[in-house]
A and B are shown apart, each in its own frame.
Chain A
Amino acid sequence: MLQTLFANTMLKTDRGGQLLMLLLMALLILVPALNLLVPQGHFLHVETYTITLLGKYLTYALLAMSVDLVWGYLGILTLGHGAFFALGGYAMGMYLMRQIGDRGVYGNPELPDFMVFLDWQELPWFWQGFDMFWFACLMVVLVPAALALVFGFLSFRARVSGVYLSIMTQALTFALMLAFFRNEMGFGGNNGLTDFKDILGFSLQADTTKVSLFMASVVALILGYLTCRKVVSSRLGKVAVAIRDSETRVRFIGYNVANFKLGIFILSAMLAGIAGALYVPQVGIINPGEFSPLNSIEIVVWVALGGRATLFGAIIGALLINYAKSWFTIELPEVWLFALGSLFVLATLFLPKGVTGWFTDLSNNKQSNRNINSNNSVAAKENAHE
């Protein structure tokens, strides 16, 4: 099954995506090896800190790809995808909270610290079951999917589109942020969920756990990419592009546009949820700040810079900007926001198709130049013959 999925998608994929996937697979093997096998202090040794940082970026990349699926291919500019990411993160965070057990500050074996602090007597119903890993994993995809289903069902059927839909997605994530800030919601209020101890019995502080989480992120990104690739290269992907370009026409061909939008939107929300679930154990905290509208807009910037409707462009965009962010905030912290702003302005002015679009244009130009040259040389030869 996996093999056929692999073969089908890899064959039809474009070169950029293939290269990136190969690179990711190399990372998957190389980075853990350089961390665990090469002794500390050796110049090839990769710090665990770097690995965790990289893992975090990879979850962002998965998130960016999920946005690209709906924005690049379906034409829905979603400015609220951070909500799905955060919901996935909260589901994982709840599992990690339950894993703390009686090692919390208050030592209550059943209730997380913030509940004891709020003087709650028993676990709310929606916290039940999160002590089981499989249940939490299920919720990581099901909760974002359910939200996407309800939101999408209402808005797509009412034929809300364009900028109005974007504003609604902003409102959605903003409303969720306000709700999660409230202590009574039972998700830790503005402190969120933190102070995690271990996952599946392995300490989150251990190097091996951190490396494993990194590897899980790489695998999730690769599988996510293959899934998206499979979707966009199927007829469903063609219908999505058709909806993006001319929604009414698709309707008159007999496709129920709302259902198609809903299907892809839900898939995208699930991917975002998985990204969030991998993000939380690596950064060690999830709080309502993740719902902030600004975060969701930033994701769109990653995709725009990387190049829309390419999938791998979104990955590159997310990695580039986040690397730049880390570098700037360490080296020139006061310049960072200006740098991000100018990066976006410059990208829209000079790279309308994003970094990947720029590269493809370059290589296309080269190729056509070569063709012209070869034609010229053929013509020259013919002339010489005459």
Chain B
Amino acid sequence: MSNPKQLDSQVNIASVLTSQFTDQSIAVSRSDHEQGFTAPFAKQIQDNVSQLARRDQVFEFLKPPHNPLIDTRHNILLYLEGVSVSFDGFKAINDLNLYIKEGELRCIIGPNGAGKTTMMDIITGKTRPDTGQVWLGSKLNLLNMDEAQIANAGVGRKFQKPTVFECLSVWQNLELSMAGTRNVWSVFRAKLSGEQRDEIERVLVLIGLQEQAAMDAGSLSHGQKQWLEIGMLLMQKPKLLLVDEPVAGMTHQEMDRTAELLNSLAGDHSVVVVEHDMDFVRSIASTVSVLHQGSVLAEGSMTDIQNNAKVKQVYLGE
């Protein structure tokens, strides 16, 4: 850039490549020279032109308006700060602060009515909090987004009661959940590519439903529906998985497999598990947050929690 001659030739080459506007301004700058106008003015124009023609930069208006990538530079994926929500005067969530790290597996426990499900509703956009902030990474404000946008930003949710699309086959359930286009016309035109088929096959194997792929989801057993729903979550490729009571109604073997699966998911994804079953929570060995009356009562490893006096008081009424 320091050599003016080199710069000039660069401008000339670039002017051929770029728009008419650039050509015209070069013409103006040349005529300025010929008529002996003030040199600094011409220089300024030339500078501007060379700025326009720089090939290592993109014009501001050509840049995508918003970078959808989640910013986790501070190693925290989900921020809930000072969140409160009340229903008819009852404070379901009361000044809740919770941070989920990237790749973490977090269990949330707490007695009935502690606000566990309400918390999930807030994160996924189903309920709007009265006060507080919810951010995904440090760039995405979840309070400004609706359910669909939040889901597309990378938050997947499994409900307490398994909700699969009963009239569709297992395969179709997975196909619909697959990350990708969500626009009406392109969904109408959508066709499965070979890669996408492989992806569905892979998840089918993972959740152990290869045999049932063509069956209606409505005819699956309760445990299988739970698994299918987890499979649907995986197809969404979320960064954050919210799992509400994943082992309700499962046999012990199924429970073990679920624990294994959730453990294997942590790392690539952050997983938040709400669960009542203490054995299960112990088996997935992770950080535990205890929710009580809408705020976090204690946080730590399972043994810490079990020895915590406050927690004992809440759970056992001692």
Contacts and interface: CB of A to CB of B under 8 A. Distances in A.
Interface string A236-253: 101101101110111111
B151 A238 contact: no
A242 B184 contact: no
B182 A235 contact: no
Given A252-B124, A254-B151, A255-B182, A245 B188 contact: no
Interface residues of B, number: 32
A172 interface: no
Contact of A251 (B151, B176, B190, B232): B151
Interface in B160-177: 163-168, 172, 175-177
B226 interface: no
B133 interface: no
11 contacts: A231-B188, A235-B175, A236-B184, A236-B188, A239-B187, A242-B176, A246-B165, A249-B159, A252-B156, A253-B176, A259-B183
A231 B167 CA distance: 17
Contacts, number: 75
Contact of A253 (B126, B149, B177, B190): B177
A175 interface: no
Contact of A254 (B159, B175, B182, B184): B182
Contacts of B164: 249
Given A235-B175, A241-B167, A242-B165, A253 B187 contact: no
A252 B184 contact: no
A245 B124 CA distance: 20
A327 to B, nearest CB: 36
B258 interface: no
B236 A245 contact: no
A72 B141 CA distance: 38
B157 interface: yes
B168 A249 contact: no
Interface string A176-197: 0000000000000000000000
Given A238-B172, A241-B167, A252 B157 contact: yes
A260 interface: yes
B163 A246 contact: yes
Contacts of B152: 254
B191 to A, nearest CB: 8
Nearest to B157: A252
A253 B184 contact: no
Contacts of A241: 165, 167-168
